[in-house]
Structure 1
Amino acid sequence: MSIASTSVIQIIPRTRRGVELMLLIVAIGVSVGAYVNIGLTVQDKVPASTGYYAAGIGLLALIAHLALRYRAPYADPVLLPCAVLLNGLGVAMIHRIDLGLADGRIAKGLEPKAAAAPQQITWTAVGVILFLVVILLIRDHRRLQALTYTAGLAGLVLLILPLIPGLGVNINGARIWIRAAGMSFQPGEFAKLCLVIFFAGYLVVKRDVLTLAGHRFLGLDLPRARDLGPIGIAWVASLGVLVFENDLGTSLLFFGLFLFLLYVATERAGWLIIGGLLFAGGGVFAYTAFGHVQRRIDDWQDPFSIDGGQIALGLMGQAWGGVLGRGLGQGRPDLTLYANSDMIISSFAEELGLTGLIAIILVYTLIIERGLRTALGCRDIFGKLIATGLAMSFALQVFVIIGGVTGLIPLTGLATPFMALGGTSLVANWAIVALLLRISDQARRPQTPAAPVSDETIAIAVQKA
């Protein structure tokens, strides 16, 4: 390797460090600015906790940046700032809703409940710690392929945990939580990560078999009947999550993720047709067999039939926000049920308007685009499938939750990544971003060129031949 090429390779990580650091400063500045603006609007003063908030978000972002640039210098410089921005804005909106709920309880002569924003910052710290663990311990994502079936078993166990008597708890009609040590956890968030690893490892080995075409129908090569087992198992498993845990969102995410990875691995459109038919059949069955699915569909079709319903209040808040929004701190998002968790996107749309909502969607789109770009640049099939699966898990989750909040599709119980109140989802999403960054470092790292072969070596090899 020449001196010039060596210098260029050394400059590239430094450039990425500079870009990422500048973007992080912008993300932290926007988040802290939103936090201060809320305090000035609602309380007519800068919040006393501004220093705690700014130091917490800034220090955590700096630690993540230093660890990433030390262990993965070629990693994508955009993913981490996007995650910090969404996380910071989420904490700011949770703080704003805390203030609204406290004012409402004081007006009724009640004591305000404990604020949720400090708790979310604590969970952010836990998420960044897990981010560091993934970055520091996983030096090469390809080693995860050896854990294919272990990850699959772990994902299955995590999905089943809420069904264990005495461990699982029913919250808001869904049995997707477990309670331990006085805290509640949602194991399905980590099951998503385990299942992506399992799907990727399984499809790397089986994709040649699954690519074989059976019958040709309407110009499409459909798979052979004996190869339909994997998608059938995924369909039955997703229905099982829906039936036993009343979790429509995770069921949709689980089946859609597997179907998309199956299509990417085989490039056979026939799998999409079969998956679409199975999805339609499962949807009809779920609507006719389960009351909670019927209620969600009915609420979606006529959200204003219920006085003070969650979807109706969210839609009215978004309509009140209009194009530019009421302004941070000037709306009433606290009137909407679960405004800081399931409906936090509605809260942003009310105070930042359609413009702010589109900006948030663009940040999510940027994360998805960088994840898919990482998949395209990855040199191994296993890494391509993991990066694709993680990016599409974001895409499906964002589409399902934003589509439900805006009335495009029925509302499900998925959490808005990085923004919604909830420790399990936040920590799991930090782990997903860390794994994406690890794969991107491997994909962007320059390959060491082969040593030049001398004429004498070639002549000796010719003589021996």
Structure 2
Amino acid sequence: MLHRLSLRVLTLVILWMGLGVLKLDDMTESGFFLQGAVFSFLILAGALFEIFFCYQGDPYLLPVVQTILAIGLVFLTRINPALAADQFIWANLGLIIYYAVFLILRDYRKLGEYQYLWGMLALLMLLLTLIFGTTINGATSWFRFAGMGFQPEELVKVALLLFLASYLSDNKELLRFGTIQVGKFSLPDAKTMGPFVFIGVFVLGLLGAQKSLGTALVFFLLMVFILYVATERLLYLVVSVPLVMVTGAAGYILFDHVRVRVATWINPWLDASGGAYQISQSIFAISGGRLLGTGLGNGIGAYQIPNADTDFIFSVIAEEIGFIGAMAVISLFIIVVMRCFCVSTRAVDRFGQILAAGIGILIGVEALIILAGVTKMLPLTGLPLPWMSYGGSSMVGHFLLLGILAGISHSSAFSVSQIPIGKQADAL
């Protein structure tokens, strides 16, 4: 019990120290202390919830995510207090969703029984978004109602992952060893590969039609990497390289904003006050942070970088808490991904193994693409950093996945404990 509570207390120390510093500098209002109190209550109550329901899953996964969340809340409060007030609500809702999923979903294996339903649901959500959605920043990826916006593609991630995990768990051997011979290669037949290709092509095609190319890239890499993890065939990675090149070239030719992003990525200094203003200011902010940072509330990136609360929150973090703080944030994401893979290796069924690995791949790919974009290692994609950037849709989607992951981890620990000690190694 003390172990569980101590990890949460460390997270709350980070949150309250950050809010306290901002309050001393008159950068926040007293109302945020009520928001922080509700958030703190949910974190501590969650630790007691785990003890009461005898949670036996990974003890570090949720505390690390909560630490990421606390850092994000502090910096959103510093950047845009109005949005931070909303983010506190979404964070509290996300924690409630996490525990609700864990409590209701007693057997995650039942999710694998609706394989094609998940695939069709992903396609339907994207199709409805394309037809009835609202275009923001060039991408038709939003539903707006009652003054609020929601991105269905965040729920598409959940549905697509469930389809992929279920499909690959049923067809792992056929995809790994193949059924037909083509030259020196043994490949799966059309009946086996058909559903995967069908869902993949239509999902990526609909995202391309929405001009949501950042999400399309994430989904493509997710599908390739999860296929490789499930089959361990290097061939699938090799085949994906020309596909990335061809689709990337097509996007560059077809979409003006892609050409702008590539041009600003190659040389942002040619138009540093125009189309490359975001990335150039991001570079200035990151470089200005040096080793220890300018101090919370003392940076200029929060005011100078457009969309600092969503796309570029990491740049503000790197400026105000420096290289050490930025590396700490990156390390937290690495820990989350590694814990996902730990859950995968301990799962006692194939569906749970692939689904847990897929969640880790998704979070890792998202974080890598976003961090590479704001540091000019890759062109910008406009994606939110999980649990840290402002965004209710992203918060809900990622806590849904985290709740499912907790269910896999808990069930696996419980199942393994029922196996005789001599056979546990074989089960794992």
Normalising by structure 1, what TM-score?
0.84
Amino acid across the alignment from 2:298: Q
1:297-351 Cα offsets, whole Å, 9 max, x none, are 1121122233151111111111111221111000112210001111111111111
2:168 aligned with 1:198, yes or no? no
2:417 aligned with 1:447, yes or no? yes
Aligned match of 1:161 = 128
> In structure 1, which of residues 19, 22, 26 is the aligned counterpart of residue 10 of structure 2?
26
Aligned match of 2:237 = 272
Aligned match of 1:384 = 353
Amino acid across the alignment from 1:338: N
Matched residues in 1 for 2:242 and 2:361: separation? Answer: 21
Superposition RMSD in Å = 2.1
The Cα shift of 1:42 comes to 4.7
2:324 aligned with 1:360, yes or no? no
2:354 aligned with 1:372, yes or no? no
Aligned match of 1:315 = 283
Matched residues in 2 for 1:239 and 1:72: separation? Answer: 41
Comparing 335-344 with 243-252, greater Cα deviation is found at: 243-252
SS, match of residue 383 in structure 2: coil
Aligned match of 1:133 = 100
Distance 1:42 1:350, change over 3 A: farther
Aligned match of 1:36 = 20
Matched residues in 1 for 2:366 and 2:348: separation? Answer: 27
The Cα shift of 1:78 comes to 0.7
The Cα shift of 1:447 comes to 3.0
Equivalent pairs, count: 413
The Cα shift of 1:449 comes to 4.8
The Cα shift of 1:24 comes to 0.7
1:144-169 Cα offsets, whole Å, 9 max, x none, are 1112222222222222232123xx11
Matched residues in 1 for 2:100 and 2:120: separation? Answer: 22
Distance 1:449 1:412, change over 3 A: closer
User: Quick check: 2:261–2:380 contact (8 Å CA) kept in 1?
Assistant: yes
The Cα shift of 1:247 comes to 1.0
Aligned match of 2:404 = 435
Amino acid across the alignment from 2:198: I
Matched residues in 2 for 1:321 and 1:216: separation? Answer: 55
Aligned match of 1:124 = 91
2:28 aligned with 1:63, yes or no? no
Structure 1 or 2, whichever has the larger Rg, is: 1
2:205 aligned with 1:223, yes or no? no
Amino acid across the alignment from 1:20: R
Matched residues in 1 for 2:279 and 2:18: separation? Answer: 26
Question: Which stretches in structure 2 are left out of the alignment for 5+ residues?
Answer: 421-428
User: Quick check: 1:169–1:176 contact (8 Å CA) kept in 2?
Assistant: yes
Distance 1:255 1:292, change over 3 A: same
2:308 aligned with 1:339, yes or no? yes
User: Quick check: 1:241–1:250 contact (8 Å CA) kept in 2?
Assistant: no
User: Quick check: 2:123–2:202 contact (8 Å CA) kept in 1?
Assistant: no
2:218 aligned with 1:250, yes or no? no
1:237-278 Cα offsets, whole Å, 9 max, x none, are 354144311112110111111111111111111111112221
The Cα shift of 1:233 comes to 3.5
Matched residues in 1 for 2:4 and 2:19: separation? Answer: 22
Comparing 32-41 with 398-407, greater Cα deviation is found at: 32-41
Matched residues in 2 for 1:417 and 1:298: separation? Answer: 27
Aligned match of 1:462 = none
Aligned match of 1:237 = 202
User: Quick check: 1:72–1:441 contact (8 Å CA) kept in 2?
Assistant: no
Amino acid across the alignment from 2:261: R
Distance 1:335 1:42, change over 3 A: farther
Distance 1:234 1:254, change over 3 A: farther
Aligned match of 2:135 = 170
The Cα shift of 1:225 comes to 6.7
User: Quick check: 1:169–1:178 contact (8 Å CA) kept in 2?
Assistant: yes
Distance 1:236 1:310, change over 3 A: same
The Cα shift of 1:215 comes to 4.4
Aligned match of 1:5 = none
Amino acid across the alignment from 1:67: F
Task: Please give the residue correspondences for 1:8-23 in structure 2 after superposition, counting only pairs within 5 Å.
Answer: 17-23=1-7
Aligned match of 1:86 = 68
Amino acid across the alignment from 2:187: P
Question: Which stretches in structure 1 are left out of the alignment for 5+ residues?
Answer: 1-16, 100-114, 451-465
1:114-136 Cα offsets, whole Å, 9 max, x none, are x1111111111221221122011
Aligned match of 1:405 = 374
User: Quick check: 2:340–2:357 contact (8 Å CA) kept in 1?
Assistant: yes
SS, match of residue 76 in structure 2: helix
User: Quick check: 1:239–1:282 contact (8 Å CA) kept in 2?
Assistant: no
The Cα shift of 1:33 comes to 0.7
Aligned match of 1:209 = 174
Amino acid across the alignment from 1:98: N
Distance 1:131 1:235, change over 3 A: closer
SS, match of residue 135 in structure 2: strand
Amino acid across the alignment from 1:33: M
The Cα shift of 1:176 comes to 0.8
Aligned match of 1:10 = none
SS, match of residue 270 in structure 1: helix
Comparing 176-185 with 60-69, greater Cα deviation is found at: 60-69
Comparing 148-157 with 404-413, greater Cα deviation is found at: 148-157
The Cα shift of 1:287 comes to 1.3
Matched residues in 2 for 1:312 and 1:233: separation? Answer: 40
User: Quick check: 1:403–1:409 contact (8 Å CA) kept in 2?
Assistant: yes
Amino acid across the alignment from 1:447: S
The Cα shift of 1:362 comes to 0.4
SS, match of residue 17 in structure 2: helix
The Cα shift of 1:381 comes to 0.4
Amino acid across the alignment from 1:37: V
The Cα shift of 1:408 comes to 0.7
User: Quick check: 1:222–1:270 contact (8 Å CA) kept in 2?
Assistant: no
Matched residues in 2 for 1:88 and 1:76: separation? Answer: 20
Normalising by structure 2, what TM-score?
0.91
